[in-house]
Amino acid sequence: MDVLVGQLFTGLSLGSILLLAALGLALTFGQMGVINMAHGEFIMAGCYTTYVVQQVISSAGVSLIVSLFVGFLVGGALGAALEMGLIRWMYDRPLDTLLVTFGVGLVLQQLARDIFGAPAKNVIAPEWLSGGVTILGAVVPKTRIFILVLAVVAVTALAIALKTTPLGRRIRAVVQNRGLAETSGVSSRFTDISTFFIGSGLAGVAGVALTLIGSTSPTIGQSYLIDAFLVVVIGGLGQIKGTVIAAFALGLLNSFIEYSTTASIAKVIVFVLIVIFLQVRPQGLFTVRTRSLA
């Protein structure tokens, strides 16, 4: 029983990490259709932001809380700069956006090496996150519980923002019909920048969370980028609820398969199952309704 519970929480923990990494993509890729290969580097920026903040603020607990806000702002600023500098000219050229953002990601990786050096950096977890909690005989690390709670809070905040705030309504209007939204007085440029800011800011928050379970390196974001894209595609483009379900489903599936085999084999089996699922349901779990004048 304790083994089953342990694997369950391992899967939920992995799912929460995938959810944080994919939540920003659910906006920039799912809502706007932009293939941003630099999203992983925005996650990396959140990791290094946490490291820098901890050098300034000695208290690990305070620095973690501050890093969540600063990481969101740093990731959001990078995303907004990318949108205004490059993406705005390429909304109808998906292959170009893929290649350009991949190049931007490489530049950001090299910039991180030049500033922080190649060796991995470690962030000290707060005292109140040390150790674990025993649940039904299984010991669950407090850091993993914190990441799970953080993912739930992030999803809830994003869902409320999209449904109840003026900005959320503008984002949904532009996604459904950009031309009609503009004729109704909605500034699509401001909406595009804001969407990229929020989506990239969430990537920065994901980076802050990742520092609690491992070291930080210039390539840390690449470890989660493909999985994050898969989560968004499986959940359905632009569907937050689909992203949540897909993230936890993949996390649990990977956890239980890995327990019976190895990490490498589990990765292969999960990928094969994803391919089969997309062959049966290429639109993902959920689809978004859009309107077109054509």
User: Per-residue pLDDT tens for 112-142?
Assistant: 999 988 788 888 888 888 887 877 777 778 8
Single-letter code of the amino acid located at 148: L
What is the pTM (predicted TM-score) of this model? 0.88
DSSP assignment string, 12-67 = HHHHHHHHHHHHHHIIIIIIT----TTHHHHHHHHHHHHHHHHHH---HHHHHHHH
Total Cβ atoms within 10 A of residue 102: 13
Tens of each residue's pLDDT in the chain, 294 residues: 666 777 787 888 888 888 988 888 888 886 677 888 999 999 999 999 999 999 998 888 899 999 999 999 999 999 999 999 888 888 778 788 888 999 999 999 999 999 988 788 888 888 888 887 877 777 778 888 898 999 999 999 988 988 888 888 888 787 777 777 778 777 778 888 888 899 899 999 999 999 988 888 898 988 888 888 888 888 887 778 888 999 999 888 888 888 778 778 888 888 898 889 888 888 888 765 544 433
**The CATH number of 1-280 is which of 1.20.1070, 1.20.1060, 1.10.3470, 3.30.70?**
1.10.3470
What's the pLDDT at 267? 83
Q: What is the dihedral of CA 255, 258, 264, 268, to 10 degrees?
A: -70
The domain segmentation of the chain, as residue ranges, is 1-280
